């Protein structure tokens, strides 16, 4: 079907009679001028009456067609295909859409509504888009695809996460946009107010939900027990009663009944004895509610075992003693093949294994530092001790960090460097057996920090936690905006083919033909060369 973008231009067609009139009465321009009429045989010598009765120049038809073509081009003709109506369906696949109502999730209900809406409107092809990742889309054709609506959620196949609605101005204006949502997500509602949505399919009525939003475990300093914390939120408007159970593997470690006021929260502390690094920790709320996905949280690991560290025999005794007393590591036996880390105390030892290495370089002529050293920022944000320059004895020979990153030192020389690549290799360029240093309490903190940087984890006070955003657990449907942002008519949404270039081309061809005919009539002779 052909439509016009600016049909008012067609009013110019009313001027075509004037064109005919000009061709009828402009006899002087129409006649072929000859040098000598007496050479021609006598014909019908025209008088005024004959001039009135003569027909217009036949070229008026060609020129009228030319003018009509130009007017059509200005009117912007467009060819619209009714079979190419495409609907982009944006799916709110947030966690709240997994809420079970009447035996099926909100997402399944919404897909049922979508199927019925497609049947009513006769739309044969849609594109399913996930709001978690708008770039992912699944095409579906009624006549070709055998996928039933139960398979549509599987087609999306995206892990849970935050929603990323598309930028409104980048949405395809030639397509029709629909939205499937429960209205529980504030961001989606805000986006829906601006997006050119033609239809919104909203599902869901339940608003009460209790969610477990935090599970955190922190081993105590003695290492025998761990303290835990859970946060339970009532996101509905009614008083709720739940039972919180904490399991280590299959073993129940803690259980407590909770009364949760409307929109209230409860922080539950518990203590775990004999933390087991082999089992995962799981917290569950019972009985399950409409959104069961947020009634449990689990930790794959909630306790860490001591790291095995091999210490070279030539290391200074104060260092060996300090390492041996660290509660987070175990000094490996000399014959042990695999360790988590090794400590070497000579310049020639390379990093040959796959484990992190702490390399203490021997200082031949150690002298106290003249300037106070400073710490650089590290990834683990360790609270490094303040080491006084008079405690640190080092060779005055300038050294370059090379490919390693300086961690501690002065402006002249780095005293501790860390390799950028893993496994981490830490080089220490000051005397770790200096008596004034080993007597300081900062000595143990320094060694713990070096071990933590090398191993990539805290050896003291490590916290294991799992949490969920509270916004994900809100399932109360909010009123959705009216789907009136798309003011286009159904016909205007069809695929358009602009016919203007075709009209311009046709007009150009007609113009060329008219020019050639005009030159021919005027007996055009090629320009005289050289004259």
Q: Whole-number minimum distance, CB 73 to other proteins, in Å?
A: 30
Based on its alpha-carbon atoms, the radius of gyration of the chain, rounded to whole angstroms, reads 42
Q: How far is the CB of 29 from other proteins (least distance, A)?
A: 10
Residue with tokens 């040098």: 35
Q: From 282, 274, 96, 313, select the one nearest 188 (Cα to Cα).
A: 96
Q: CB of 27: closest distance to other proteins in angstroms?
A: 7
Judged by CB, which is closer to other proteins: 55, or 364? 55
Residue 84 phi/psi, 5-degree rounding, is -105, 25
What are the residues facing 257 on neighbouring strands? 243
The 8 Å CB, 24+ separation contacts for 145-150 are 149/111, 149/112, 149/114, 149/115, 150/108, 150/111
Q: Is residue 146 within the footprint of other proteins (CB under 8 A)?
A: no
Residue with Cβ nearer other proteins (28 or 337): 28
Closer residue to other proteins (CB): 24 or 199: 24
- The count of chain residues that interact with other proteins, using the rule CB under 8 A, is 30
The CB-of-17 to other proteins minimum distance in angstroms stands at: 22
Provide the minimum distance between the beta carbon of 61 and other proteins in the complex, in angstroms, as a whole number. Answer: 15
Of residues 50-89, those binding other proteins (CB under 8 A): 50, 54
- Nearer to other proteins among residue 49 and residue 221 (C-beta): 49
Residue for token pair 């946060």: 231
Three-state secondary-structure class, residue 453: helix
Cβ atoms of 472 and 95 closer than 8 Å: yes
Task: Answer for the pair 446, 410: CB distance below 8 angstroms, yes or no.
Answer: no
Q: Which is nearer to other proteins, 31 or 190 (CB)?
A: 31
What is d(CA 319, CA 309) in angstroms, rounded to the nearest whole number? 13
Q: Check residue 530 and give left, alpha or beta (phi > 0: left; psi -120 to 50: alpha).
A: left
Query: Rounded to the nearest whole angstrom, what is the least distance from the CB of residue 522 to other proteins in the complex?
Result: 8
Question: Phi and psi (nearest 5°) for 140?
Answer: -145, 130
Q: Is 530 in the site for other proteins (CB under 8 A)?
A: yes
Binding pattern for the stretch 500-529 against other proteins, x by CB under 8 A and - elsewhere: --------------------xx-xxx-xx-
Tell me how far, at minimum, the Cβ of 34 lies from other proteins, in Å. 5
Side by side, the strands of the sheet bearing 495-498 are 2-4, 77-81, 495-498
Of the pair 8, 40, the CB lying nearest other proteins is at 40
Site string for other proteins, 17-46 (x = CB under 8 A): ----------xx-xxxxxxxxxxxxxxxxx
Which residues of this chain interact with other proteins, rule CB under 8 A?
27-28, 30-46, 50, 54, 520-521, 523-525, 527-528, 530-531
């Amino acid at each position: 079907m052909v439509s016009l973008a600016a049909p008012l231009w067609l009013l110019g067609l009313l001027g075509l009679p004037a064109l005919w009139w000009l061709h009828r009465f402009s006899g002087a321009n129409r006649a072929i001028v000859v040098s000598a009429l007496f050479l021609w045989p006598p014909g019908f010598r025209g008088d005024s009456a004959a001039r009135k009765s003569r027909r217009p120049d036949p070229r008026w038809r060609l020129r009228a067609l030319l003018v009509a073509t130009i007017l059509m081009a200005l009117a912007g003709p467009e060819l619209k295909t009714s079979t190419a109506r495409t609907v982009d369906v944006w799916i709110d696949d947030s966690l709240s859409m997994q809420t079970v109502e009447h035996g099926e999730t909100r997402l399944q209900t919404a897909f049922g509504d979508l199927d019925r809406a497609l049947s009513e409107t006769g739309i044969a092809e849609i594109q399913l888009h996930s709001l978690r990742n708008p770039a992912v889309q699944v095409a579906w054709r009624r006549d070709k695809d055998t996928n039933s609506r139960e398979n549509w959620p599987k087609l999306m196949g995206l892990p849970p996460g935050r929603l990323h609605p598309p930028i409104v101005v980048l949405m395809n204006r030639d397509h029709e946009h629909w939205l499937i949502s429960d209205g529980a997500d504030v961001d989606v509602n805000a986006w829906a107010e601006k997006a050119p949505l033609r239809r919104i399919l909203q599902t869901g009525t339940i608003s009460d939900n209790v969610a477990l939003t935090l599970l955190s475990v922190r081993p105590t300093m003695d290492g025998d027990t761990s303290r835990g914390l859970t946060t339970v939120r009532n996101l509905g408007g009614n008083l709720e009663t739940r039972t919180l159970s904490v399991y280590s593997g299959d073993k129940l470690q803690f259980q407590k009944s909770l009364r949760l006021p409307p929109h209230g929260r409860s922080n539950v502390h518990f203590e775990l004895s004999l933390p087991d690094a082999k089992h995962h920790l799981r917290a569950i709320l019972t009985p399950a509610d409409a959104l069961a996905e947020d009634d449990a949280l689990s930790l794959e690991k909630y306790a860490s075992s001591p790291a095995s560290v091999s210490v070279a025999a030539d290391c200074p005794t104060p260092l060996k003693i300090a390492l041996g007393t660290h509660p987070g590591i175990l000094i490996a036996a000399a014959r042990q093949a695999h360790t988590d880390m090794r400590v070497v105390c000579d310049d020639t030892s390379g990093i040959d294994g796959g484990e992190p290495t702490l390399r203490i370089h021997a200082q031949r002529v150690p002298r106290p530092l003249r300037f106070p050293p400073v710490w650089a920022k590290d990834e683990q944000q360790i609270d490094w001790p303040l080491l006084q320059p008079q405690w640190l004895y080092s060779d005055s020979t300038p050294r370059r960090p090379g490919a390693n990153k300086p961690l501690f030192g002065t402006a002249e020389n780095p005293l501790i460097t860390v390799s950028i690549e893993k496994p981490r290799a830490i080089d220490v360029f000051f005397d770790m057996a200096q008596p004034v240093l080993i007597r300081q309490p900062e000595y143990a903190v320094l060694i713990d920090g070096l071990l933590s940087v090398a191993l990539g984890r805290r050896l003291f006070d490590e916290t294991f936690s799992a949490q969920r955003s509270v916004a994900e657990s809100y399932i109360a449907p909010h009123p959705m905006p009216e789907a009136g942002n798309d003011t286009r008519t159904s016909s205007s949404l069809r695929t358009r083919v602009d016919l203007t270039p075709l009209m311009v081309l046709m007009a150009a061809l007609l113009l060329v033909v008219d020019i050639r005919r005009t030159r021919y009539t005027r007996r055009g002779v090629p320009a005289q060369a050289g004259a």
